[in-house]
Structures are given as structure tokens and as C-alpha cells.
């Protein structure tokens, strides 16, 4: 048993898709969330920058005495796996759990993958899928504008701007006839209703944040690292830009307020 918090991080709001699922699966667990809202997006940056950011993000979580780290970011998961795997605590990312869920869900063997430019360029999901089943056909598509739309709060299912962008990005994946689509960037599940309505009813959407949270819950159980029943619980959010926008979208998405639990930190200087 371990009463320390679970550390979850992302470049911004996207990792809340994992937090939402963790709160459902493990309601007694404490969580420290870090969203690098001052430096988002990561997905359009080069490898060295993403590696540096990932190291700083994980160091911050370790400074908060977390018992495990969840990289709730497709970009970090794709580019900085070596950083996570070198940690002294269990590390889970979004790639393998999402690939496993997609491989189990597809019936026609055609899987679409959408993500940031860095994620798609890394080929991380395709490699993970083909390792599971080399007969799968994988159709990747970068959708870089989605992250900015989510961070700017364009998340309502009826939002016309987001819908137009989704139609443009998703046309080739639709045309390929996929029956399963990995939302390979954790920001994307926040606009899943829009993506789902563009893709059509027959397409199963895989929420990478949710799948990673399920994998984290399993890893904690397997290692006997869950908290004791009745242990004091705390969920805290740290961001690197003004908390207001984060709090608004977080509240919309999580269905509860995060006010009073969200604080700004300086990740480049002394984070603690």
C-alpha cells in the first residue's frame, strides 16, 4: 500500500482525460496533475526540446513525491519514452495501452491514428500496433490545430470552427474506411463528440488518456501500490500559465470545479 499521489502530466489540458478516468476508477487516490500550459503545444517542436520539457515535467512530479508517473501526452509518450523508463517509480504512457485497445476493437483491421505532428512523425502508434498484429493496416494523420482549439476552449460539440477543422483533417482517414480511430493526442478526447460525429457511428474512438489511466490502475494493483482505504485524499493541479483558462475548460470537462486546487508554477526556474 502506498498513500502518495499519482503524478499525471501533459503539455496542457489534454491529460485531464486521464485524470477523469483515474477519478472514476480509483476515487480514493490522490493525484498531482501538471499541465505545461505556458509552453503548449509540444507537438510542433523538435525532439531535443520535447525531451528537455519532458525531463523537467517529470522532475517536477518527482519533487512532489509521487508514487508513479503517467505521461498523459501522446507527444511525450512518442518522443521521450527513454526519460520515463529511467524513472525510479513506475511509468505508464499512452501508446501501448491505446494500441492494445484499438487492436482489440477493430473488426476490419483498418485503424486510423490521429495525433500531433511529432507523434505521427515518430510512428510510435503504428509500430506498437504492428507489434501486436502485423496484418493491421494503419492510417496516420496529424491534426495540429486541434490542440490550440482545445486550449482556447473551442470544445462545445456544436462549435462550427472545430467541426470544419475536423472535417478537413479527418477526410483521408474516413476515406480509408477505418472502423477504429485512436485519438492519439490526449487533447482530442475533449472534442470526441465532434470527431465522432464527423467519423460516423460505425467508428470506435479510442481515448488515449482513458486507456493510459486503465493501465495505470492495473499497474498500481499489480505492484500493491494502491492507497489504504480511507486515506486522506488530495487532488492538486499545477500549470505554467495563468490558471483561469485551464480552470474553465477543466471544469467543463471534469464536471467539477478545480478552483482553489490549481496553482501556477515556474517550471524553468525552481519548480518547488
Task: Say how far apart CA 209 and CA 91 lie, in whole Å.
Answer: 14
* Contacting residue, 81, 163, 187, 210, with ligand DGL by CB under 6 A: 187
Interface with ligand DGL includes 186 (CB under 6 A)? yes
Q: Which is nearer to ligand DGL, 26 or 73 (CB)?
A: 73
Sign of CA pseudo-dihedral 80, 81, 85, 90: positive
Task: Say how far apart CA 150 and CA 209 lie, in whole Å.
Answer: 15
Task: Say how far apart CA 75 and CA 138 lie, in whole Å.
Answer: 18
Task: Say how far apart CA 205 and CA 197 lie, in whole Å.
Answer: 11
Q: Which is nearer to ligand DGL, 85 or 224 (CB)?
A: 85
What are 4's three cell numbers?
502518495
Minimum distance from CB of 42 to ligand DGL (Å)?
A: 4
DSSP letters, 190-216, are GGHHHHHHHH-TTPEEEEHHHHHHHHH
Strand partners, 34: 9, 238
* Contacting residue, 5, 7, 35, 43, with ligand DGL by CB under 6 A: 43
Minimum distance from CB of 64 to ligand DGL (Å)?
A: 20
Mode of pairing for the β-strands spanning 110-115 and 68-71: unpaired
Active-site residue, selected from the candidate residues 185, 192, 220, 226: 185
Question: Binding marks (x or -) toward ligand DGL, 90..129, rule CB under 6 A?
Answer: --------------------------x--x----------
Q: How many CB atoms lie within 10 A of CB 230?
A: 7
- The stretch among 24-32, 36-44, 50-58, 128-136 that binds ligand DGL (CB under 6 A) is 36-44
Residue 73 known to be catalytic: yes
Task: Say how far apart CA 68 and CA 220 lie, in whole Å.
Answer: 8
Q: Which is nearer to ligand DGL, 113 or 178 (CB)?
A: 113
Q: Which is nearer to ligand DGL, 208 or 262 (CB)?
A: 208
Interface with ligand DGL includes 57 (CB under 6 A)? no
Active-site residue, selected from the candidate residues 8, 73, 89, 227: 73
Binding site for ligand DGL (CB under 6 A): 10-12, 14, 40-43, 73-75, 116, 119, 147, 185-187
Amino acid at each position: 500500500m502506498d498513500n502518495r499521489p499519482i503524478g499525471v502530466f501533459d503539455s496542457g489540458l489534454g491529460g485531464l482525460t486521464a485524470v477523469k478516468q483515474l477519478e472514476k476508477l480509483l476515487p480514493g487516490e490522490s493525484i498531482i496533475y501538471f499541465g505545461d500550459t505556458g509552453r503548449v503545444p509540444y507537438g510542433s517542436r523538435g525532439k531535443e526540446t520535447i525531451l528537455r520539457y519532458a525531463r523537467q515535467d517529470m522532475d517536477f512530479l518527482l519533487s512532489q513525491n509521487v508514487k508513479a508517473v503517467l505521461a498523459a501526452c501522446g507527444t511525450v509518450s512518442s518522443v521521450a519514452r527513454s526519460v520515463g523508463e529511467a524513472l525510479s517509480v513506475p511509468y505508464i504512457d499512452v501508446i501501448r495501452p491505446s494500441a492494445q485497445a484499438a487492436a482489440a476493437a477493430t473488426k476490419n483491421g483498418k485503424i486510423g491514428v490521429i495525433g500531433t505532428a511529432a507523434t505521427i512523425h515518430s510512428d510510435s502508434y503504428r509500430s506498437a500496433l504492428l507489434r501486436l498484429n502485423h496484418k493491421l493496416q494503419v492510417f496516420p494523420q496529424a491534426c495540429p490545430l486541434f490542440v490550440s482549439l482545445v486550449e482556447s476552449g473551442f470544445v462545445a460539440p456544436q462549435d462550427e470552427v472545430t467541426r470544419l477543422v475536423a472535417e478537413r483533417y479527418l477526410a483521408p482517414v474516413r476515406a480509408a474506411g477505418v472502423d477504429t480511430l485512436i485519438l492519439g493526442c490526449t487533447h482530442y478526447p475533449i472534442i470526441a463528440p465532434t470527431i465522432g460525429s464527423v467519423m460516423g457511428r460505425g467508428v470506435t474512438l479510442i481515448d488515449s488518456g482513458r486507456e493510459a489511466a486503465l493501465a495505470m490502475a492495473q499497474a498500481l494493483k499489480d505492484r500493491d501500490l494502491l492507497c489504504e482505504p480511507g486515506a486522506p485524499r488530495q487532488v492538486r493541479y499545477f500549470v505554467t500559465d495563468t490558471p483561469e483558462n485551464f480552470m474553465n475548460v477543466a471544469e467543463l470537462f471534469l464536471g467539477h470545479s478545480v478552483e482553489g486546487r490549481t496553482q501556477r508554477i515556474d517550471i524553468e526556474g525552481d519548480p518547488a
